[in-house]
Amino acid sequence: MALAMLGGCATRPSPDVLQPVHLDKRVLLNEQVHGEKATDRVRVLAATNRTPDSVRGGFGSAWAETLTYEEYEFSVPPDRKDTAITYPTAKPDPERQFAVIEREQLPKDAFVQRALGSVQADGTVGIFVHGYNYSYQEALYRTAQIAADANMPGALILFSWPSAAAVAGYVADRDAALSSRTELASLVTSLSASGKVKRIVLFGHSMGGFLVMETVRQLKLQHRDDVIGKLAVLLAAPDIDVDVFRAQLNDVGRMPIPISLLVSKDDRALVASSFIAGERPRVGRLDIDDPVVEEVAVKERLRVIDITSIQASDGLGHDRYASLARFGAQLASFESGRRSTAGDVGAYVFDAAGAAVASPFRLAGRVVGSQ
């Protein structure tokens, strides 16, 4: 029953959606079509330790010994009402469907240079790490949606680990995530080596959050404080056992930039993973109304942010992070603006209805303004 909760009835995309499609030149130039802008365009850089599928042109769930690097350009429909992704068909409709319009495989050096070319003015670059039960193409299109809704300059980077992309693959996925620590650490280290990079936002969703924390722990044990000093860790609905997380924090210690946790008490997917794990509580379902949680957040120098007010589209309350992308400016302002203050940690509520004001973050009943 728990696994059934995580399943969906929607048809999953095949690797065919990775093949570039040809669109009307006016669309590619963002010209007006029928009086309306037809499409947006975003770039995504992808690094994966999945084994390439030479037959279908994608990547499977087997573990590869080396990373493969790619760059994609997407056509993104401009008038999206939610975070649902409509994949391209044989005759793609750019007003409704996402679609790959360019794809290029890159050597590592070229990949790093293009990533450095996407560093924002303040020295920030972002890496997204997907969760359990994701295929490569699903993770790639989700990254494109996040980049488009966040209106990011440059390219967002995807790190795709070899998820089995199957509801019954929970244990296999956890093993695959653990096996990917060195590869993710290698990617992060390659980017941090540049003086141009001041901050790497390492954004992990669900089991991807577990992989992120394990990678940070590995870097700490390797005494790579030079890399850790540039990391801003953001964990959305982290599928991490609470006691395991506590042990990870003990090894990592206090990070220069506080770790941010995006949590929801009503995340049904994490209810299922807790059941699979023998009723062990998950970090992504922390209750910020619990005084103990607030006390621990301050003690461990964490930001625990309840995002229950944000609408989910998966019926489980597990994909709210995707909707949060459109509030990216407020989240970035909150994080960077309060980074060096005494009150930059604790338990917060993200008030989606208050996003029009200076800050939608509320602490102890008041609005937290930009500092």
332's enclosing H/E stretch is helix 328-337
Distance CA 114, CA 43 (A): 11
Q: Where do we find the tokens 């946790």?
A: 261
Quote the pLDDT of residue 224: 97
Distance CA 84, CA 113 (A): 32
Domains of the chain, by residue range, sit at 2-367
Quote the pLDDT of residue 79: 82
- Dihedral sign (CA 101, 107, 112, 116): negative
Distance CA 90, CA 14 (A): 12
Distance CA 21, CA 77 (A): 14
Listing DSSP states for 129-194 in one string gives E--SS--HHHHHHHHHHHHHHTT-SSEEEEEE-----SGGGHHHHHHHHHHTHHHHHHHHHHHHTS
Whether the Cβ atoms of residue 116 and residue 110 lie closer than 8 Å to each other: no
Residue type, 37: K
Distance CA 129, CA 316 (A): 20
Count Cβ atoms below 10 Å from residue 232 Cβ, excluding itself.
21
Which CATH number fits the domain 2-367, given the four candidates 3.90.400.10, 3.30.1330.80, 3.40.50.1820, 3.40.50.1370? 3.40.50.1820
Distance CA 208, CA 238 (A): 8
| 355 Cβ neighbours under 8 A, 6+ residues apart | 327, 330
Count Cβ atoms below 10 Å from residue 279 Cβ, excluding itself.
8
Give the pTM: 0.89
How far is residue 192 from each of residues 163, 179, 201, 251, 333, measured CA to CA in Å? 26, 22, 11, 21, 22
- pLDDT tens for the chain, 371 residues long, are 344 445 544 589 999 999 999 886 545 555 444 444 556 899 999 999 999 998 888 999 999 999 999 999 999 998 888 888 999 998 999 999 999 999 999 999 999 999 999 999 999 999 999 999 999 999 999 999 999 998 888 899 999 999 999 999 999 999 999 999 999 999 999 999 999 999 999 999 999 999 999 999 999 999 999 999 999 999 999 999 999 999 999 999 989 999 999 999 888 888 888 888 877 889 999 988 888 888 888 888 899 999 888 877 767 767 888 888 877 666 665 555 444 443 478 888 877 665 544 555 555 333 333 33
| 192 Cβ neighbours under 8 A, 6+ residues apart | 200, 226, 227, 230
Quote the pLDDT of residue 309: 80
Quote the pLDDT of residue 339: 46
Count Cβ atoms below 10 Å from residue 26 Cβ, excluding itself.
12
Quote the pLDDT of residue 140: 98
Whether the Cβ atoms of residue 233 and residue 241 lie closer than 8 Å to each other: no
